[in-house]
Amino acid sequence: MSNNANRVFQVVNARIVTPSGVIENGALTVIDGIIADIRLSGEEQDASASKLPVIDAKGNWIIPGFIDVHVHGGAGHDFMDANEEGIRAITKFHAANGTTSLLATTLTASREDLTAVLDRVSRFMSATMPYTQIIGVHLEGPFVNVKWKGAQNPAYILPPQPEWLDEWVRRFPGVIKIQTLAPESEGSLAYIEKLANNGIVPSCGHTDATYEQIIEAADHGLRHAVHTFNAMSPLHHRQPGTVGAVLTDDRITAEVIADGHHVHPAGIKLITRAKGTHNVILVTDAMAAAGMPDGDYELGGLPVHMSCGVARLKETNSLAGSTLTMISAVQYLVREVGVTLEEASRMASANPARQLGIEATTGSLEVGKAADFLQLSDSLELEAVWIKGTKFDN
């Protein structure tokens, strides 16, 4: 990213997407990486603000930076085995595609390997992060259902292990933000309560749970569903399954992968109409192959082949994560699904911030929040990225 001189400036002549609507011909002032003011361009302001460096947005959109709560890697690297250089490459790639904050997401693996990921990521978080900010870890597995394993390695699937969580919370306080499990597995309800009591969002995924089991899990604290429709018991009019519970229980926020491969546009419309755009979170589920050419890769130790940008397990031909970026997902929602940019922005920024409990500091463009924002052209092409008021320089 560029130097800190860019942390004090004003963006003018912009269409600014805020929680209360779009400000046409707006001006956004940044002081020390924080949004200090939002108003109409040309409105009277104090003398000091009028002397700030000015960036002319030329009528383009200014929207909040994206927060990706489910991302495994990118640029040829995976959080499961990436060293500091690899993590830096992942965050640089996603910064270039509009993600200003993310959760480093794991896969089903051994206790030792998952602990090692938590250790590497927590150390990376403790230093200055030059690109996308890692704000925690999303543990996807290993307490899932082998029937819906998808790209999760079945060799390491097992029931919830409370003592693992005790160790992780003690050694890495505040690092785990979400954990995904199968609520029908033995001991899962008590484990869900344990997650919630530790400030971790309990999530369902890779699950064969019935409608009734998901509702019961929500009674115990379940609040999130990963990649809705994918790797979960499907909707049937007499057996609503996991999908039916996720769509109808307002306590559960639904992730969606909007890449045209994981969910049909009509399926995404169904999710947004059932949940409302305030209760849907846009994610990439991106793997190491994101941003890379077609070829052979690995996901959680399983061989994957990517063709035409679509990654599938070699053994089963199942979808294996994605190569999606957040800017591409937002563009897909607007162009193919028909949501407004304001609605897409809510699903990509405000909703994940609220789910993670960080909405007071980021996720929307409001005075006092971090200057995490993007400039998009009228056709929604990404023009510029600012992270904490510092412009990203690819």
Other residues' Cβ atoms within 10 Å of the Cβ of residue 381: 11
Active-site annotation holds for 285: yes
Q: Give the integer Cα–Cα distance in Å for 322 and 312.
A: 9
- What is the fold, at CATH topology level, of the domain defined by 66-356? TIM Barrel (3.20.20)
pLDDT (0 to 100) of residue 309: 85
Instruction: Return per-residue pLDDT of the chain as tens, 394 residues.
Output: 544 445 899 999 999 999 999 999 999 999 999 999 999 876 666 655 667 899 999 999 999 999 999 999 999 999 999 999 999 999 999 999 999 999 999 999 999 999 999 999 999 999 999 999 999 999 999 999 999 998 899 999 999 999 999 999 999 999 999 999 999 999 999 999 999 999 999 999 999 999 999 999 999 999 999 999 999 999 999 999 999 999 999 999 999 999 999 999 999 999 999 999 999 999 999 999 999 998 988 877 788 898 988 888 888 888 887 899 999 999 999 999 999 999 999 999 999 999 999 999 999 999 999 999 999 999 999 999 999 999 998 7
What superfamily does domain 4-63+365-391 belong to in CATH?
Urease, subunit C, domain 1 (2.30.40.10)
Bridge partners (DSSP) listed for residue 14: 26
Is 187 within 8 Å of 160 (Cβ atoms)?
A: yes
Ordered by start, the domain boundaries in the chain are 4-63+365-391, 66-356
Burial 147-173 (b: 16+ CB within 10 A, else e): ebbbbbbeebbbebeeebbeebbeebe
pLDDT (0 to 100) of residue 367: 97
pLDDT (0 to 100) of residue 113: 98
pLDDT (0 to 100) of residue 2: 47
Is 376 within 8 Å of 383 (Cβ atoms)?
A: yes
Domains 4-63+365-391 and 66-356 share a fold: no
* Catalytic member of 68, 249, 285, 372: 285
pLDDT (0 to 100) of residue 3: 47
Q: Give the integer Cα–Cα distance in Å for 240 and 249.
A: 12
Instruction: Tell me the three state secondary structure of residue 273.
Output: helix
pLDDT (0 to 100) of residue 4: 47
